[in-house]
Structure 1
Amino acid sequence: MLSLKFTDSKDIFPFAYAVHMLVNKAPVTMRSKENPGVRIEKGKLLDDMYEGYVLKQAIDTGEILRVTPIVGPYKNVSVIVVPIIENRDITGAIGIVDLTAGIFEELHSITRRPEIMKFLPDDAFPK
């Protein structure tokens, strides 16, 4: 089995593109541990040398990250990034724009509007 750890963007692209299509063309990024990867949006490869600092964080920590980057092409946009683990070794990471985060944040802010809050019990949403 070929390890993802040293794979380059050319070989990562088909898998990342398949994920991109599975999630209805939501933006997808992917990289190996040792090499830059890809950034795909709207069915197109936009960057085949994508570093991705959140991808690197997921590789370094081994944790699933649900964050909002403060720099880069996804600045101020919620993302989910997952490390890829092969035989207990972190070999890469894949990320996607979290399309649901904005929906729940909007719902949360709407329910906190003063004109609606007066109809809800005090313990409905912790302050």
Structure 2
Amino acid sequence: MSEYIISADSDAGDLVGIALTIHDIINRLPVTARSLNNPGVRIENGMVIDDAYTGPVLEIAMRKNHLIKTVPKSGPYANVPVVVAPVHDKDGEVIAAIGLVDITGIFDLATLMEHQSTILKQVCGKDPCPLPTEAVAAKK
């Protein structure tokens, strides 16, 4: 029987399989991963872009031991929303972190609501959209 083990000492080669799998599952959004004690991988477009990757958000997630959602100010994902989660061993100790570009972070609900009228005008050419006479209830 084959095994796949990730530990605090895993290197990029140990992490690439799981990182590529996640990358494929999330429709090839960029994925990063590193272990507690070694740099890891950065994957984009189905390929390993960096096999000695360490990102500040990966490090913060491991140090703080919780999920981090943020927009980095520097690095390859500067100004792009990311989400990073720590990976734990069976005792609950942090051994690694995995991160990805957070497409849900692109949509800020407050901003969307603030600009709703403008968006509706762009989509429909008028506000309200649909007009009361065009609404489904008006057609019954």
Amino acid at match of 1:74: Y
Gaps of 5+ in 2: 119-127, 129-140
Q: Look at both structures and tell me which one has the larger radius of gyration over its CA atoms.
A: 2
Q: Which residue of 2 aligns with 1:123?
A: none
- As a proportion of its length, which structure holds more strand? 1
Identity among equivalent pairs (%): 37
Q: Distance in 2 between matches of 1:114 and 1:48?
A: 43
Q: Which has the higher contact order (CA 8 A, sep 6+)?
A: 1
Instruction: Count the aligned residue pairs.
Output: 116
Tell me whether 1:7 sits opposite 2:10 in the alignment.
yes
Tell me whether 1:71 sits opposite 2:74 in the alignment.
yes
Q: Which residue of 2 aligns with 1:28?
A: 31
Structure 1 runs of 4+ aligned residues shifted over 2 Å read 107-111, 113-116
Tell me whether 1:96 sits opposite 2:97 in the alignment.
no
Gaps of 5+ in 1: 120-127
Deviations 1:74-121 (A, max 9, x none): 00000000000112210000001001211x22x5434313956xx8xx
Q: Which residue of 2 aligns with 1:82?
A: 85
The TM-score, its normalising length taken from structure 1, stands at 0.83
